[in-house]
Amino acid sequence: MDIVTTDRKNHEGSLELAKWAAEKLNWRFVPRYRTSVPELMEKYETDKVLIAKKGMLTLVTKDGELFFHPNMAQIRVKNIRMAQGDRLVEAMDLKEGMSVLDCTLGFGADAIVESYAVGENGRVVGLEASPVIALITGHGLQNFTAGNYPMHSALRRIEVHNADYMDFLKTQPDKSFDVVYFDPMFRHPLMDSKNINPLRLAADHRALSLEAVKEAMRVARHRVVMKESSRSTEFERLGFPLMGGGKHSNVRYGIIKI
């Protein structure tokens, strides 16, 4: 059984946050006392423990810890501010005021960059199929204190839904978002991508379907974009022409212009 607990010191607010998360996920809340995480895993026969600590949520797995932190997004936003651009923003052809449906939110790094790029008059909706990832990212986006106002407001503006993109897309009217984006778990994971290893345990690993791409093309006004590893055959299978450049990068973007 998957469980939620607090840190050992039981900082102020941890108990309330742990109980709130347990209720949202329908996981069991257990008091921490002096117990270690491996002891808890053994006792409750689980490989995942969600811990509320100092106002944030961390999922501890045997592969490492998983928590919200906008570190990569921070660097990318800084590059945009210094007019050095961002490959995803370029692939999406994002402008102020646009709307983005980010179908695979994960830890929200791409969504934060999108949110910054479309600005206060834009809209970013993030979908995440895994309840625990949706909860950690949704809570992090609303509670993490970013160092500056543009980042802070980019985080807060993202709307998070714990939903399967196929179900969500089907409910959306034609041409209701400028861009629809997919960044599925890669078919052949890049094992040197250490940040994502703990994510693998909780994430939804299903491949993108042609049916979902078709729905995305109905919902998008401007572009449908997919990220995959550079040598992936998914671009061809799903009909995504490749964006130019990036030949020396591990990842590439496929772009369907509507």
Ligand X SMILES: C[S@@+](CC[C@H](N)C(=O)[O-])C[C@H]1O[C@@H](n2cnc3c(N)ncnc32)[C@H](O)[C@@H]1O
Asked if 164 touches ligand X (CB under 6 A), the answer is yes
Asked if 104 touches ligand X (CB under 6 A), the answer is yes
Within 195-254, which residues bind ligand X (CB under 6 A)?
Answer: 203-204, 206
Decide: 219 and 101 in contact? Cβ < 8 Å.
Answer: yes
Q: Give every CB contact of residue 18 below 8 A, 6+ residues apart in sequence.
A: 4, 5, 6, 29, 50, 51, 52
Where does this chain touch ligand X (CB under 6 A) — which range of 49-57, 126-134, 240-248, 249-257? Answer: 126-134
Q: Give every CB contact of residue 131 below 8 A, 6+ residues apart in sequence.
A: 24, 25, 162
Asked if 107 touches ligand X (CB under 6 A), the answer is yes
Where does this chain touch ligand X (CB under 6 A) — which range of 23-31, 143-151, 183-191, 232-240? Answer: 183-191
Residues 168-196 as b/e (b if ≥16 CB within 10 A, e otherwise) read bbeebeeebbbbbbbbbbbeeeeeeeeeb
* CA-based torsion, 211, 131, 141, 113: positive or negative: negative
Asked if 128 touches ligand X (CB under 6 A), the answer is yes
**Closest approach of ligand X to the CB of residue 45, in Å:** 23
Where does this chain touch ligand X (CB under 6 A) — which range of 43-51, 123-131, 144-152, 214-222? Answer: 123-131
Binding site for ligand X (CB under 6 A): 103-104, 106-110, 127-130, 133, 164-166, 183-185, 203-204, 206
